[in-house]
Structure 1
Amino acid sequence: MGKKVKEEKKAPPDDVFDAILVESRQAGTVVLMLSSPEEDVQSKACEAIYKFVEKCDENKKMLLDLGAGEALLKLMQSEDRIVRRNACMAIGVMTAHSDVRKFIRKNEEAIPTMITLLAPEEDTVVHEFSALSLSYLATEFSSKAVIIENNGIEPLVKCLNSHDPDVQKNSIEALAQLLLDYQARGVIRDADGLAPMLELLKSEFAIIQKLSLLALDRASQDAENRAALRELEAMSRLIDFVAHPEWNDLHVMAVMVLSNLLEDPESLEVIKETGGLKRLVALITDQVPPDEEPKSGGGAKGEKKAGSRAAKKSAKGGKKEESEKEEPPPGEAIIPTLPDVKMCAAKAIARSAKNAENRKILHEQEAEKMLIHLLSHESTDVQTAAAMAIGIMAENLLSKDSVREWEGIQPLIKLCSSDNGDVKEAATLALANLTTSNSGNCQEVSNYGGIEALIHLLADPRDEALANAACILTNVATEEVIRSEAQGKGVVTALLGPLKTKNSNTNVQAKVSLAVAAFVCDADSRSEFRNASGVEHLVELLHSGNDEVRRNASWALAVCAVDEPTATEICKLGGMDTLQEIQVSGTRRNPFAEVALQRLLDSNLSAKYALTGHLSSTNLIENGFYDAGQIRPNTKFLPIEDYCGLPLNDKRAILFVNAKADPVTQVSNSQTDVDTKQDTSKTSVSGKSSRTGRDSKANDNYRGKRRMSAIPDVAENGGGERSSSAARSARGKSKSQKEKEEKQREEELQAQLQREAENISQTENQPVQPPTDSNLLKYVEEVTERIMPLPSVKEQVTALAQYVADKMGGPIEKGQLTHFSWELPISQVKFELKCNVVPIGKIKAGIHIHRALLFKALADRIAVCCTLTRGEYNRAWNEVMLPDTDDTPGAPKFPPKAYIVDLIHEPGKLMKSDSPEAVQYRKL
């Protein structure tokens, strides 16, 4: 074999530059290399920049300042595949910096170039980093709009089908950011992007599954997207996902997507037909569905994927966790669901139940059972979500009964005593809805001791819990037995707390006012409420700027005003004036205030007559009524004690009805009784006469007359007797004993004088008492004896009119009314009484206003129905309703007709209300 001859290398051409290796440690030098015409140099420079900017954010900003951004964007359009790839990698990493994104937004060709690089013919690495750049840019609204305008969603959707997980991750992340814009939700549906997103749920990478669920959550907020997802059987896939225990860290997001889907009744129908809802309920409650065996969590594929993920976690962190081992075989208990998943599931039920049709379907699927089961969970967040869902489900009438049948009331009552404020608020809201118009649930609340817990909550610092407790108490108050129980446990006093604390929360004020109206409905509770100054706070709430607060406060006052003492208290506190202002106002007026004012006036007829000038036949005048005249606008209506305390004046007399015997008459009657007893018992003459003398002189002292003369009489009567007896017994006594007895008598006299002075002082300090009317008392007795037995109402009216006219000066001829003297006699009565208040029985000469008032007062005593109406110029009249008097058999019967009773000219004459003579009677 011959010797090999060494081949000689050819020398390079003379016109070719020899290749050199360049080492650079300056970023600026590498940036300059980006402008080289050689593609190999551009490629290596891009690769060097990629490695440099991947280290930290400061490097990204440095290269941007050196002008690398513009050069890289140009190289992304290079014809050389390697240059495009390396430039795309560099710019993709640099886009994480906000200044770089700002620079790219200013370049109109940057985003369209990145979208172009998502074409199928490009390398996978180009797809990866182009999608990465778009995911960063999609975080800002302006860039998001540019991506959508340049049809960037469709290429991203196609990248979801890539076999490279990095491409999938960056693409789904970009889509998730874009779906925050409602326009993108319709575009992604048109691009058939929903199906690839569902497929990514099977990915073996948790980050891809998470981003896919995030994108689905945002896409499913659109109704048309939800319809498309139903066609893709998304709900079954999501439930299968939740059933996979290896993916429990993503179950919350899966349930959130289900929550969006369950918002539509169509979705609930689908999940109901497929049995998916029962599966979901069983998974959330950690139970096995009764119609199927326990599943391993996702089938063979699920096991493979779970094993793959577990293997990767094991490679990174060593041993596998217990939950990452083999799934339980059929027949064993399934792995408990995480609390966050339970909470989200309860919220999903609550969100879906806001629709009436959905509530019906959820009730048919026994969703209440799951929620009641979650009430006993140890997590307060789960308890809160479950209670809130029950509260929404309770808007369905059948659900209210179901919660009671499945014993859901008791755990809710227990949660009312929770230390967590959110739990208490949610539990009370659920009970408030459950007890609304449901007597069975109200009884359950009482049976489980809920009344005490609710009363305790009225002092809770959390406003919403307090308001809900007041609402529950209002609901249970519809049951008389429960209402009495709550009143016995001090609910009225407890309700005063929120009113007295000046709580500014209008919801609390409104609910507590309504609760007051529910419980202050009998005399004892009204008295308790009034004595505790509760009326004062209700009157203050009438000034609230909130419509609901004013309405509820008005209703509470309407309930309180049914008895006279409370009505009087409301008037003293200015409640009547405020209600009148509300009724005059065009914006604050409400029907509840009108009812309150009417009831207040019906309980205080004096105020009603003064304000309206009319009393109906059902308004019965009793002792204490007074006619103060027509009240002018902006004039306060005063109680009778204030009118009695005013100094004597020349104004119109206050007409007073008080059919009681005078104190002088009562004393004289008692004196007569004592004299009679003295005649029958001679042994007690001196003792009883001395006591009678003291009583008569005490009455003189009470009236302020002969005050100083009473004391000597007492001294004379008491001291004289004692001195005479002492003289007889002292004949054989020494001088010292006489002096001692004399001194003792003087001390007794001084003590007696001091007691008399104290009695006089107490009498002077007592409030002014309105005058009594013994004459009116006699009128009532005579009318009851003579007129009441008459056989017909017409005869009674006629006789009573004649009686009243006789007592008030007799008939007055027409045209002679101006000559009838009535002012002077009334002024004399005022002067005698030293008071502007004149009892109606003491008036012996009266005209329309006096006779009409006396007729009404006497008619009410003998059950003759009539009205009292005030006119102008001292006119007043009574109207009665009388039936047809034709008793002939077969004669037609007509409704009763209204008649005006003549008390002036022809007493007893009845005039039809619409007749000319009746009109003339009512006018001057």
Structure 2
Amino acid sequence: MGKKVRKESETPCKETFEPLPVEGKNPATVVLLLSSPEEDILVKACEAIHTFAEKGDENKVSLLGLGALEPLCQLISHDNKLVRRSALMALGIMTANSESDNIGNQCRLAFSVIWWRTMQPNVVVHEFATLCLASLSVDFVCKVQIFDSKGLPTLIQLLCSPDPDVKKNSLETIFNMVQDYQSRQAVHELGGIPQLLELLNSEFPVIQHLALRTLQNVTTDKDTRNTFREEQGFEKLMDILSNADFSDLHIEALQVVANCLNDSESFQLIHQGGGLTRLTEFIITPNITEIQSCAVKCIARVAQSAENRKLLHEQNVEKVLVELLSVSDVSVKTASCQAVSKMSFHLACKDCFRDLGGIPEIVQLLNNEMTDNLRTFLFILVQQLYGNCAGTVANSAATLGNMAGQGVIRCSILLHGAMQALVEPLKSTNVQVLVNTTQCLAMLACDTEARAELQTAGGLQPLVNLLRSYHKEVLHNACLAINVCASDEPTAVEMCRFGAVELLHEINQSVKRRSSVSKLAMTSLLNSNLSVKYSLTGHLSSTDIIRDGFYDAGKVSVCQRILTLEELSEQPVNQQRPIIFVNTSRKITTYFPAYFSDTDSDFGLITPLLDRKKKQKDETQPESPTEKQWKMMDDVSLPLLVKEVKESILPLSEEREQYAALARLVSEAMGGAVEMEKLHEFPWVLHLSELKFQLQSNVVPIGLIRRGIYRHRALLFKCLVDCIGLSCTLVRGEYNRAWNEVLLFTGNPSSNGRSSLPCRYIVDLLHQPGSLLKANTPAAVQYQTI
């Protein structure tokens, strides 16, 4: 008899694993997870790669060596929108600010897929796709690919996008491209100059700066300067230069002016509008040396013409230039020498320089030497911030702030402990110390680590306290620094806890104290703290993505400080409406002062063990460090609901059906459809009271709510939409009303391949779940109001 062979099982096992938490510390393991068939794992892997690559080029090179780029490029075409978005984010950071040639060469391979994604009619996709393009466009080959792919017309169109991030990324890509002559010409021929001028009115300084820098490049072409003049570009520049609130834009504006001064027609236009007088004012203003330097360069540009030199001589410019030869700033000295050189072609100017003693000053400059021990110099400057002399502290902060404009120098300054050293100067009563310190802080707090260091050092509270200042420049710089620090959610939340929102609201209500920077600081704070934003404004846009820890504390007055989730959880149970919060984490951890373990099968609740709570209060039982630390309560139901949504909603092919199906699922999770006439019979108030009693807390996880109305269903719908990569708004109305608004394209694409304009719909989650009510119709208005 032959040897028996064991027969292999022909049918695979139908059993599945319970959800398995995955932790990976090795980058190679995470890269392998990019090939997983499970969408949750793909999202987490992309997010981990994004975080790892964000730490520096060394990590990016390591990821490239592990083969991360190819699967990421494949994932941005994935069927799951959340996977696509996460992959685009990871790819964006992989390409961002990469100094390694290896990174640039390999990332060119991703261009065609990224560019295809840029063409899709989706704002969220536009944001991350244009972020990738902004990074790739630094590379010459990618610039050629974008130009050959007819990319400039699309990028110019995206400058009108309602999303500021899309505007910023598109503008940055255009800025990188206009370094080349053919792109500069194309921007002018495609009508990009009016769009760039319009962006000067943006409420975001980064967009204004990029627009001016792009204009600086394109206005080197004569035809572009003519168009710039016809579009009243000079008038807009003069408006900026005449406004002290826009002092941060003056340098770039002057550089654009310097280009335009090459034309006699442009110079005459500026001269007639008082521009020459304004330039002279900038030269004699000693506060900002960079502005002085740019203004002097403009004078040197004007002085290239004999006729212009005569006009400058009549303005007594020679006297000012001779005085600038003895200032301490090297850039001002250099620019002044160039201007003297140009002006000296005029005989009367040459005699004037001689009579004013300009020649000995120029000879003296030949003997000056620059120090080469920069590191020691920076260390000394940082140490002087701890000094008692107000003048020394102010000058050191000003010097560090000016030097921090260079990325390498800024890193060196931070390594010497500058953030911690700035904390005490922020408490000073000397105005000049405060002005220079806040300006230095705004320049240094440009990355996450620096902001975290400032928070750890206790610098956020004294910074927020400066919002009480009535000194215009101190207040302006404090708002600027807060705007920079608010880029991170932890620092934004901490500043809100110190009362930054209330103080900024008071400032913005004052005619004398408010400014564009104070409004921008408020916007940045709210955008990084969505819980506070929703309580104050009652509105979250489609780009405001709800994360774990978001909570709805109800409508709150701006004059009232909004308590944190931790503070709200520590309050005794009261008769007010519960605070609803979101937590999709699947970790088995315990939150809140009460200890929880038993699960109620009817409500999916976690009930408190009173005996343990009593034991916790026993003084004979010392608390462990983990018991003292506050944590957020688990939500055992919401992660399961998210999983169900991903499995049942994402496979649907059309967005309209996805929204409708999700609405029905939300309705079913919160008690089903309720007729409008019988809404008063729906026992949602009793149900929420029972939840608060069983949890012994005013704060209730949204996944545990089984009887919810407008407010609760709208929040759950927004949460689930954000989890699966769709988009919707969340709007609070009166009397417990809240609703979601979605955008949908209607009709068939036109002959040119473009879809019709999108229409706004209100999602019915309560009466006829799944119905999409066209905005402003009677049915929609009835759903939104009583």
Q: Please, what TM-score do these two structures have when normalized by structure 1?
A: 0.44
Provide the secondary structure at the position in 2 that maps to 1:865. coil
Q: Show the counterpart of 1:922.
A: 784
Q: Show the counterpart of 1:870.
A: 732
Q: Show the counterpart of 2:412.
A: 485
Q: Does 1:452 align with 2:314?
A: no
Match of 1:623 among 548, 554, 557: 548
Whole-Å separation in 2 of the counterparts to 1:909 and 1:551: 48
Q: Does 1:585 align with 2:510?
A: yes
Superposition deviation, residue 784 in structure 1:
1.5
Query: 1:595 and 1:871, CA in 2 relative to 1: closer, same or farther beyond 3 A?
Result: same
Q: For 1:796, give the aligned amino acid.
A: Q
Q: Does the Cα contact within 8 Å between 2:661 and 2:770 map onto a contact in 1?
A: yes
Q: Does the Cα contact within 8 Å between 2:501 and 2:558 map onto a contact in 1?
A: no
Q: Does 1:705 align with 2:630?
A: no
Q: Show the counterpart of 2:425.
A: 498
Q: Does the Cα contact within 8 Å between 1:662 and 1:774 map onto a contact in 2?
A: no
Query: 1:479 and 1:768, CA in 2 relative to 1: closer, same or farther beyond 3 A?
Result: closer
Superposition deviation, residue 455 in structure 1:
2.7
Query: 1:481 and 1:709, CA in 2 relative to 1: closer, same or farther beyond 3 A?
Result: closer
Q: For 1:452, give the aligned amino acid.
A: F
Q: Show the counterpart of 1:549.
A: 474
Q: Does the Cα contact within 8 Å between 1:872 and 1:923 map onto a contact in 2?
A: yes
Superposition deviation, residue 651 in structure 1:
0.9
Q: Does 1:575 align with 2:500?
A: yes
Match of 1:540 among 443, 446, 465: 465
Whole-Å separation in 1 of the counterparts to 2:734 and 2:334: 59
Whole-Å separation in 1 of the counterparts to 2:363 and 2:669: 75
Superposition deviation, residue 890 in structure 1:
5.5
Kindly provide the CA deviation profile for residues 843-872 of structure 1, in whole angstroms up to 9, marking residues without a partner as x: 111111000000000100011111101000
Query: 1:580 and 1:361, CA in 2 relative to 1: closer, same or farther beyond 3 A?
Result: closer
Match of 2:575 among 644, 650, 669: 650
Q: Which moved more, 1:903-912 or 1:798-807?
A: 903-912
Q: Does 1:800 align with 2:725?
A: no
Query: 1:830 and 1:389, CA in 2 relative to 1: closer, same or farther beyond 3 A?
Result: closer
Q: Show the counterpart of 1:843.
A: 705
Provide the secondary structure at the position in 1 that maps to 2:505. helix
Kindly provide the CA deviation profile for residues 700-734 of structure 1, in whole angstroms up to 9, marking residues without a partner as x: 99955368999xxxxxxxxxxxxxxxxxxxxxxxx
Q: Show the counterpart of 1:169.
A: none
Superposition deviation, residue 791 in structure 1:
2.1
Whole-Å separation in 1 of the counterparts to 2:753 and 2:660: 25
Whole-Å separation in 2 of the counterparts to 1:610 and 1:837: 15
Whole-Å separation in 1 of the counterparts to 2:320 and 2:773: 70
Query: 1:580 and 1:401, CA in 2 relative to 1: closer, same or farther beyond 3 A?
Result: farther
Whole-Å separation in 2 of the counterparts to 1:856 and 1:819: 26
Q: Does the Cα contact within 8 Å between 2:451 and 2:491 map onto a contact in 1?
A: yes
Query: 1:615 and 1:495, CA in 2 relative to 1: closer, same or farther beyond 3 A?
Result: same
Q: Show the counterpart of 2:262.
A: none
Higher relative contact order (CA 8 A, sep 6+): 2
Superposition deviation, residue 596 in structure 1:
1.4
Q: Does 1:636 align with 2:498?
A: no
Superposition deviation, residue 557 in structure 1:
1.1
Q: Does the Cα contact within 8 Å between 1:455 and 1:491 map onto a contact in 2?
A: yes
Provide the secondary structure at the position in 2 that maps to 1:655. strand
Superposition deviation, residue 526 in structure 1:
0.9
Q: Show the counterpart of 1:832.
A: 694
Q: Show the counterpart of 1:378.
A: none
Whole-Å separation in 1 of the counterparts to 2:626 and 2:320: 76
Kindly provide the CA deviation profile for residues 504-559 of structure 1, in whole angstroms up to 9, marking residues without a partner as x: 22122111101101111211111111111111111111111201101111111111
Q: Does the Cα contact within 8 Å between 1:607 and 1:637 map onto a contact in 2?
A: yes
Q: Show the counterpart of 2:772.
A: 910
Kindly provide the CA deviation profile for residues 170-195 of structure 1, in whole angstroms up to 9, marking residues without a partner as x: xxxxxxxxxxxxxxxxxxxxxxxxxx
Q: Which moved more, 1:888-897 or 1:559-568?
A: 888-897
Structure of higher CA gyration radius = 1
Whole-Å separation in 1 of the counterparts to 2:340 and 2:570: 61
Superposition deviation, residue 772 in structure 1:
1.3
Q: Does the Cα contact within 8 Å between 2:660 and 2:769 map onto a contact in 1?
A: yes
Whole-Å separation in 1 of the counterparts to 2:407 and 2:363: 26
Whole-Å separation in 2 of the counterparts to 1:505 and 1:876: 49
Whole-Å separation in 2 of the counterparts to 1:460 and 1:356: 47
CA RMSD, Structure 1 to Structure 2 (Å): 3.9
Note the 1:409-488 alignment, pairs <5 A: 450-459=377-386, 461-488=388-415
Provide the secondary structure at the position in 2 that maps to 1:705. helix
Match of 2:523 among 574, 589, 598: 598
Q: Does 1:523 align with 2:523?
A: no
Whole-Å separation in 1 of the counterparts to 2:620 and 2:364: 69
How many residue pairs get aligned? The number is 444
Superposition deviation, residue 471 in structure 1:
2.6
Match of 1:558 among 452, 475, 483: 483
Whole-Å separation in 2 of the counterparts to 1:904 and 1:401: 78
Superposition deviation, residue 585 in structure 1:
2.0
Whole-Å separation in 1 of the counterparts to 2:752 and 2:766: 38
Superposition deviation, residue 462 in structure 1:
4.7
Note the 1:24-63 alignment, pairs <5 A: none
Q: For 2:532, give the aligned amino acid.
A: A
Superposition deviation, residue 491 in structure 1:
2.1
Q: Show the counterpart of 1:168.
A: none
Q: Show the counterpart of 2:741.
A: 879
Whole-Å separation in 1 of the counterparts to 2:611 and 2:675: 44
Q: Does the Cα contact within 8 Å between 1:458 and 1:495 map onto a contact in 2?
A: yes
Match of 2:435 among 507, 510, 525: 510
Superposition deviation, residue 792 in structure 1:
2.7
Provide the secondary structure at the position in 2 that maps to 1:816. helix
Whole-Å separation in 1 of the counterparts to 2:656 and 2:506: 42
Query: 1:602 and 1:410, CA in 2 relative to 1: closer, same or farther beyond 3 A?
Result: farther
Q: Show the counterpart of 1:898.
A: 760
Whole-Å separation in 2 of the counterparts to 1:837 and 1:922: 26
Q: For 2:405, give the aligned amino acid.
A: T
Q: Does the Cα contact within 8 Å between 1:616 and 1:868 map onto a contact in 2?
A: yes
Q: Does the Cα contact within 8 Å between 1:662 and 1:773 map onto a contact in 2?
A: no
Q: Show the counterpart of 1:811.
A: 673
Q: Show the counterpart of 2:536.
A: 611
Q: For 2:423, give the aligned amino acid.
A: L
Q: Does the Cα contact within 8 Å between 1:561 and 1:599 map onto a contact in 2?
A: yes
Provide the secondary structure at the position in 1 that maps to 2:546. coil
Q: For 1:856, give the aligned amino acid.
A: K
Superposition deviation, residue 876 in structure 1:
0.4
Q: Please, what TM-score do these two structures have when normalized by structure 2?
A: 0.51
Whole-Å separation in 1 of the counterparts to 2:523 and 2:429: 29
Note the 1:728-877 alignment, pairs <5 A: 761-762=623-624, 766-877=628-739
Superposition deviation, residue 448 in structure 1:
8.2
Superposition deviation, residue 466 in structure 1:
3.5
Q: For 1:650, give the aligned amino acid.
A: Q
Whole-Å separation in 2 of the counterparts to 1:616 and 1:410: 61
Note the 1:159-558 alignment, pairs <5 A: 386-387=326-327, 396=336, 398=338, 450-459=377-386, 461-499=388-426, 502-558=427-483
Query: 1:896 and 1:401, CA in 2 relative to 1: closer, same or farther beyond 3 A?
Result: farther
Q: Does the Cα contact within 8 Å between 2:673 and 2:769 map onto a contact in 1?
A: yes
Whole-Å separation in 2 of the counterparts to 1:541 and 1:355: 45
Superposition deviation, residue 769 in structure 1:
3.6
Unaligned runs of 5+ in 2: 1-279, 281-311, 343-357, 592-605
Whole-Å separation in 2 of the counterparts to 1:565 and 1:448: 31
Kindly provide the CA deviation profile for residues 298-329 of structure 1, in whole angstroms up to 9, marking residues without a partner as x: xxxxxxxxxxxxxxxxxxxxxxxxxxxxxxxx
Q: Does the Cα contact within 8 Å between 1:477 and 1:483 map onto a contact in 2?
A: yes
Superposition deviation, residue 891 in structure 1:
7.2
Superposition deviation, residue 598 in structure 1:
1.3
Q: For 1:494, give the aligned amino acid.
A: A
